[in-house]
Amino acid sequence: MSKYDYSKLQNGSDIRGIALEGVPGEAVNLNSEAAGRLARGFLFWLMQKTGKEAPDLTISIGQDPRLSGDKIAANFMQALHPYGCQILSAGLASTPAMFMSTIFSEYTADGAVMVTASHLPWNRNGLKFFDRDGGLNKGDITDIITFAESDSILNSIRPAAPREIKTIDLLNTYSAHLRRLIADGIGCSETDSPLSGMKITVDAGNGAGGFYASKVLQPLGADISSSQFLEPDGHFPNHAPNPEDKNAMEAICTQVKTCGADLGLIFDTDVDRSSAVDEKGCEISRNGIVAMAAALIADKYPGTTVVTDSITSNQLTVFLEDTLGLSHLRFKRGYKNVINKSIELCRSGIDSQLAIETSGHAAYKENYFLDDGAYLATKIVIKAAQLFREGRGISSLIADLETPAESIEIRFPILADDFVAYGDRILKDLEILTDSGQIKGASLVKPNYEGVRINFNQPSCKGWLLLRKSLHDPIMPLNIESDIPGGVHEIRRALKPLLAGYDKLDISKL
């Protein structure tokens, strides 16, 4: 049995851990040793995947501005150095840019690593891995951990003459790529200042996304003077770098209104997620960002299937299918789940051009199915510029999207030791109760791919609930939406006696 155990560092298809001391009760588990062994585990995985020896491999490494990023990236590179692979050090980068280092002809890396923990607190960090096929899946991460824990496997990698680590300016290369996309999309050259006259507010939350304002929008003529929190700062002093965070969205909405901007864009720490704010200062997030992302491709790909996570609203389905003429497949939470489902549909002969979570992870088929917040922002900017010339704002693109009257999310802790089995039992019981007609005015949504989704159709509550298990934690999230005021209360009241009998489920907030 290995003396190393890195299984707790796996978070689906990512590595995430505690990298810095300073938070009571949180001990560091992503230390120098772990980073180094995971680096060699990835090297071995990449050798197996490509059939290449270590000296024939090129691996790029970048990081977001977290306080522990420099150290972890250095540990990673030091661990790879003795094996002769070509290491490309990108420094401050975005997660999508790291993948693109496997695509851009300047680099053509075999593998790429991003040191990031997305929007998690300052003391956390992690690793995201890519090869030329895209982001690695959960099973790949499990394999890398297995390799990292094995002395015999790591010792089987033959040392070779070290090569000089190359420093690359990946963000400049990536920014030039995005500028070309905008100019081409608008139908002019970059030197024509295609964004001249537009005021665009960017909020990077002191993450890695500040480059989008200074290196993409400003060179194309946009006024970015109202942008905020562009400076990378791993303390994240202003608000969480997270488009799902209420304070973050309030901050950019207020800024857009105050400064009279034509468009607002907000990124998470590593720029694989984004949301927007329209010319009225109203947020375009959750169901809105899904609708926006779909509307941007509806004309080019009529009838395509949009794969979303499980908590999207009924109104979104109506907008996607009835207004845009697309198909909507509501699948599971988890950005890799929706991406992989979209890829699966394409391989089966069903066109699916977009996989997107309400969190802001948006992956287009035309962009390697890469969840890239800057790419989504770029498509929004192109459309906003076209509408600006017509005297319209970006809000007009999703004007027909209706919103529920009320919505709420409650998270119930599961106190049972075997929380997976206990959660499964609750879901199965609730499904049976609903299907047997014991809940007045309720009907099961079928097919349904995660948890139990129930529609309610009675005078006092028209809406739905979704009860599901968390992807990784002993939690059961409950989402409720109502089309009429007071409906959420009625649905909660109907659900409470059904869950009251489970003594290992904490429903005190229900």
pLDDT in tens, 375-428: 999 999 999 999 999 999 999 999 999 999 999 999 999 999 999 999 999 999
Going by pLDDT thresholds of 50, 70 and 90, the confidence category of residue 167 is very high
Nearest residue to 121 via CA among 244, 25, 234, 287: 234
Q: What is the pLDDT of residue 437?
A: 85
Going by pLDDT thresholds of 50, 70 and 90, the confidence category of residue 2 is low
What is the arithmetic mean of pLDDT over 474-485? Answer: 96
Q: What is the pLDDT of residue 34?
A: 97
Residue 286, Ramachandran bin (φ over 0: left; ψ between -120 and 50: alpha; else beta): left
Going by pLDDT thresholds of 50, 70 and 90, the confidence category of residue 446 is very high
By CB atoms closer than 10 A (0-12, 13-18, 19+), residue 29 is: middle
Phi, psi of 295 (to 5 degrees): -60, -30
Phi, psi of 201 (to 5 degrees): -95, 125
- Contact predicate 262/280, CB 8 Å: no
pTM exceeds 0.85, yes or no: yes
Q: What is the pLDDT of residue 7?
A: 94
Residue 146 is encoded by which pair of tokens?
């297995």
Please determine, for residue 97, whether its predicted confidence score (pLDDT) is greater than 70: yes
Q: What is the pLDDT of residue 241?
A: 95
The number of residues making up the chain comes to 510
Show the 3-state SS of 313-347: CHHHHHHHHHHCCCEEEECCCCHHHHHHHHHHHHH
What is the number of helices (H) and of strands (E) in the chain? 14, 22
Going by pLDDT thresholds of 50, 70 and 90, the confidence category of residue 312 is very high
Residue 271, Ramachandran bin (φ over 0: left; ψ between -120 and 50: alpha; else beta): left
Please determine, for residue 1, whether its predicted confidence score (pLDDT) is greater than 60: no
What is the arithmetic mean of pLDDT over 185-190? Answer: 95
Give percent of the chain above pLDDT 70: 100
Please determine, for residue 221, whether its predicted confidence score (pLDDT) is greater than 70: yes
Q: What is the pLDDT of residue 374?
A: 98
What is the arithmetic mean of pLDDT over 222-232? Answer: 98
Please determine, for residue 438, whether its predicted confidence score (pLDDT) is greater than 90: no
State which of 1-10, 130-139, 464-473 shows the largest mean pLDDT.
Answer: 130-139
In whole angstroms, what is the distance from residue 232 CA to residue 126 CA? Answer: 17
Domains and CATH numbers, the chain: 7-168 (3.40.120.10), 171-281+373-401 (3.40.120.10), 286-371 (3.40.120.10), 406-499 (3.30.310.50)
Amino acid at 492: R
In whole angstroms, what is the distance from residue 256 CA to residue 263 CA? Answer: 7
- pLDDT, one tens digit per residue, over 194-205 is 999 999 999 999
- pLDDT, one tens digit per residue, over 7-63 is 999 999 999 999 999 899 999 999 999 999 999 999 999 999 999 999 999 999 999
Q: What is the pLDDT of residue 473?
A: 87
H or E element in which residue 246 lies: helix 246-259
Give percent of the chain above pLDDT 90: 95
